[in-house]
Amino acid sequence: MTKLFFILLSFLFCSSNLSAQHKFTVIKSDYAWKKQLSPEAFVVARQEGTERAYSGKYWDNHEKGIYKCVCCAAEVFSSSAKFESNTGWPSFWKPISKTALLEENDDKYNMDRTKVTCNTCGAHLGHVFSDGPKPTGLRYCINSVSLTFEKKL
């Protein structure tokens, strides 16, 4: 009964959820995601967790290549759009394409943010903020554990 009460409260007081309406092309059960992902990747990518700053393997990566979604391997960012934000998370000023990501309001924890998910599978990648460099002025602050990296020569 208590669980139902909290579900109803969430439904009544949360903003509309675009990802719940979006038709993802890669859909798996939580059981399948847990088998595929590390425990940390599952919490971050499938349950909207956040890794600790400076703990991920890509925040200080300077190699050229493509960053992909850890869940479905969709290309989401290029190293050519990566920049040093001094936040402890990999930061990008634009996604690899306009259709790579799904962005929606995230007002959890009394914060007004925009969360970023993979447009292919719905994996939580991080958040986007309007304090980035030119030309977009955007900072996509992304969890390393939500990504894989394919080095380009």
Could you give the residue numbers annotated as active site? 141
Give 101: exposed, middle or buried? Use CB within 10 Å, 0-12, 13-18, 19+.
buried
Asked if 100 contacts 75 with a C-beta cutoff of 8 angstroms, the reply is yes
Phi, psi (deg, nearest 5) at residue 29: -75, 160
DSSP classification of residue 99: T
- Sign of torsion, CA 130 142 57 98? negative
Percentage helix, strand, coil for the chain under 3-state DSSP, each rounded to 5: 25, 25, 45
Q: Which two tokens stand for residue 101?
A: 């990501």
Q: Which two tokens stand for residue 75?
A: 């290309």
- Sign of torsion, CA 27 149 98 85? positive
